[in-house]
A and B are shown apart, each in its own frame.
Chain A
């Protein structure tokens, strides 16, 4: 065996930099998470900083702000699953009904496009459209006699804006996998059910959706694993002092508490908490799904 490995030593040599990359940039920081149990000090380093046990985790849950931020994160995670996860499935089903090839191509080209824009650009476009002085949304509302509303300046609108902008950017992109799964369905199934007198709606329920179910399950499980990861950029770019009460999530808070206020250990504790909860949710969902549908990630 070692002779065999020696014969192909170049293969191993080529792979070393890549493996090192994952070790250094992905696994080493994972080890570095121990500072969550210390009072980490940049100058004292890992070995010189005092150990404090679970102090930071206790502080987290006693902190009134933290509970609110956690609630915001969970709320957005929930909305994300209810709306941003289901919308591409429905859109894919609707696109699948289009028989004019060219028309379908044009629609696809248009709806995929926003995915390539950065969140900074997306926020710029939305901020522009929602601006109380010159935004197109308020201009249109004005035709109906509605006074200008500063949408981004109110806590009550920010969740809708976050979910809406996410939908705008990614709903089309999300259909790609489903559309591919749809083309994989055997057309004979439809022909046979048509003979039996099944209408299009019945076919969708009995053939199309069951065929999509494995893909939906896998993507759903991955989404559950990301429940707490709504995303730093997409929220941060919409934040301002007026909407922060409802828009602060764990990721943005970690950045502010950690990098801005330099509470390194506290921010790491929050980050670790987030990763562990994510993993936990994934394992639970995976087990449930294996029992219920037989589909699972591992």
Chain B
């Protein structure tokens, strides 16, 4: 009996290791396929020869991508809304999270409830759009930064961190004559660097990936962020497959160009990922437990 148990356990473990390795490969191989295609010759891609290693190595697609001013422009806009947007996010979120973390703030429970309600019941799209139009944010880059200034989830992550900071520290700072602003700026924020990093990562990934808001609030092509530009380039593939419209870059592979753009747009995230990992798991946990 014990022996049988032992064997079935062994088989389970082997199967489990195989399964999880296979699963990781399904996460990784599509990436490798993208990378391989972005460096492969047009003919090889069209024949379906390219798997996970470049065939007929070429840098043509990257050349095309780097020569296209509109891609650069979109890239610049995305960098801009990611940097400025995340700064706005952090300033707005911490300035609300700090008071809500203090017992001296009478009525903080109600304010928290008022914030949490917005997670459960959201306003329909059109009234949001009309609001944006009324306050003249439509067709400005502010439309990608202001309406998403505070996420309730991140607010709660940051607040939970502020709550953990011992009150004695705040009290002694106050005895030294520090005002609330000073306490927030030179005590709470420096002490909360890990929490700010966590929240900052969540915000910057969201800002970098912003697509829907741009679709809703921007009509001017010159303002399109990278994701919208990328989507435009990708749609051409459907058109080719349905036989509607050929991409007009002679002797280039549409797919090759698309894969190159995908890689360029993902590279910043891939590069930052190893540094991010330390923080996001913690933030994820605090946020979901509290909410």
A residues sitting closer than 8 Å to B (CB atoms) are 1, 4-5, 8, 10-12, 14-15, 17-19, 21-22, 24-33, 35-36, 42, 91, 94-95, 97-98, 103, 106-107, 109-114, 116-121, 123-129, 131-136, 138-139, 142, 150, 152-153, 168, 172-173, 176-177, 180, 199-200, 219, 225, 232-233, 236-237, 240-242, 254-255, 258-259, 264-265, 267-268, 270-272, 274-275, 278-279, 282
Known: A15-B96, A18-B150. 20 other contacts (CB 8 A): A14-B98, A17-B95, A21-B92, A28-B127, A29-B131, A98-B16, A98-B20, A116-B209, A120-B209, A125-B33, A134-B46, A134-B255, A136-B48, A176-B285, A177-B284, A199-B9, A242-B242, A265-B126, A268-B127, A275-B121
With A22-B114, A29-B128 as given contacts, are A15 and B99 in contact (CB-CB < 8 Å)? yes
The answer to whether B121 and A120 have CB atoms under 8 Å apart is no
Q: Which of A26, A133, A240 contacts B123 (CB 8 A)?
A: A26
Q: Please give the distance in Å from B238's CB to the nearest CB on chain A.
A: 5
Candidate in B19, B240, B255 with the most chain A CB atoms within 10 angstroms: B255
- In the A-B complex, the 3 residue pairs with the closest CB atoms: A271-B124, A18-B96, A32-B127
With A125-B34, A134-B48 as given contacts, are A233 and B212 in contact (CB-CB < 8 Å)? yes
Asked if B81 is an interface residue, CB under 8 A from chain A, the answer is no
Interface string of B245-283 (1 = CB under 8 A from A): 000000001010011011001100110010011001100
B residues sitting closer than 8 Å to A (CB atoms) are 5, 9, 12-13, 16-17, 19-21, 23-24, 26-28, 30-31, 33-34, 37, 45-48, 50-51, 92-93, 95-96, 98-100, 102, 104-106, 111, 114-115, 118, 120-131, 133, 146-147, 149-150, 155, 179-181, 184, 205, 208-209, 211-212, 215-216, 227, 230-231, 234, 237-238, 240-242, 253, 255, 258-259, 261-262, 265-266, 269-270, 273, 276-277, 280-281, 284-285, 288-289
Q: Which of B105, B150, B276 contacts A11 (CB 8 A)?
A: B105
Nearest CB in chain B to that of A31: its residue? B127
Question: In the complex, A242 Cα to B281 Cα: how many Å?
Answer: 40
Question: In the complex, A119 Cα to B262 Cα: how many Å?
Answer: 11
The answer to whether A116 and B269 have CB atoms under 8 Å apart is yes
The answer to whether B104 and A8 have CB atoms under 8 Å apart is yes
The answer to whether A271 and B125 have CB atoms under 8 Å apart is yes
Question: In the complex, A271 Cα to B24 Cα: how many Å?
Answer: 38
Q: Which of B34, B146, B231, B285 contacts A177 (CB 8 A)?
A: B285
With A98-B16, A120-B234 as given contacts, are A255 and B216 in contact (CB-CB < 8 Å)? yes
The answer to whether A268 and B273 have CB atoms under 8 Å apart is no
The answer to whether B126 and A136 have CB atoms under 8 Å apart is no
> Which residues on A sit within 8 Å (CB–CB) of B273?
113, 116
> Which residues on B sit within 8 Å (CB–CB) of A24?
131
The answer to whether B265 and A121 have CB atoms under 8 Å apart is yes
Question: In the complex, A114 Cα to B168 Cα: how many Å?
Answer: 42
The answer to whether A271 and B126 have CB atoms under 8 Å apart is yes
The answer to whether B95 and A18 have CB atoms under 8 Å apart is yes
Question: In the complex, A227 Cα to B103 Cα: how many Å?
Answer: 36
> Which residues on A sit within 8 Å (CB–CB) of B255?
128, 131, 133-134
Q: Please give the distance in Å from A264's CB to the nearest CB on chain B.
A: 5
With A8-B105, A14-B95, A259-B129 as given contacts, are A131 and B241 in contact (CB-CB < 8 Å)? yes
Q: Which of A30, A139, A173, A270 contacts B48 (CB 8 A)?
A: A139
> Which residues on B sit within 8 Å (CB–CB) of A35?
126-127, 130
Q: Please give the distance in Å from B202's CB to the nearest CB on chain A.
A: 10
The answer to whether B27 and A111 have CB atoms under 8 Å apart is yes
Question: In the complex, A5 Cα to B100 Cα: how many Å?
Answer: 14
Q: Which of B47, B100, B240 contacts A15 (CB 8 A)?
A: B100
> Which residues on A sit within 8 Å (CB–CB) of B149?
21, 25
The answer to whether B123 and A32 have CB atoms under 8 Å apart is yes
> Which residues on A sit within 8 Å (CB–CB) of B205?
116
Q: Please give the distance in Å from A236's CB to the nearest CB on chain B.
A: 8
Candidate in B27, B149, B253 with the most chain A CB atoms within 10 angstroms: B27
Q: What are 17 contact pairs spanning A and B, CB under 8 A?
A: A14-B181, A15-B105, A25-B146, A29-B130, A30-B121, A107-B23, A111-B23, A116-B205, A120-B209, A125-B262, A131-B255, A133-B48, A136-B33, A142-B48, A177-B285, A267-B126, A275-B123
Q: Please give the distance in Å from B253's CB to the nearest CB on chain A.
A: 8
> Which residues on A sit within 8 Å (CB–CB) of B281?
176
The answer to whether B125 and A15 have CB atoms under 8 Å apart is no
Nearest CB in chain A to that of B19: its residue? A94
The answer to whether A110 and B131 have CB atoms under 8 Å apart is no
Question: In the complex, A240 Cα to B269 Cα: how many Å?
Answer: 28
Q: Which of A133, A225, A232, A254 contacts B120 (CB 8 A)?
A: A225
Question: In the complex, A135 Cα to B130 Cα: how many Å?
Answer: 42
The answer to whether A12 and B105 have CB atoms under 8 Å apart is yes
> Which residues on B sit within 8 Å (CB–CB) of A124?
230, 234, 258-259, 261-262
Nearest CB in chain A to that of B130: its residue? A32
With A127-B237, A133-B46 as given contacts, are A97 and B99 in contact (CB-CB < 8 Å)? no
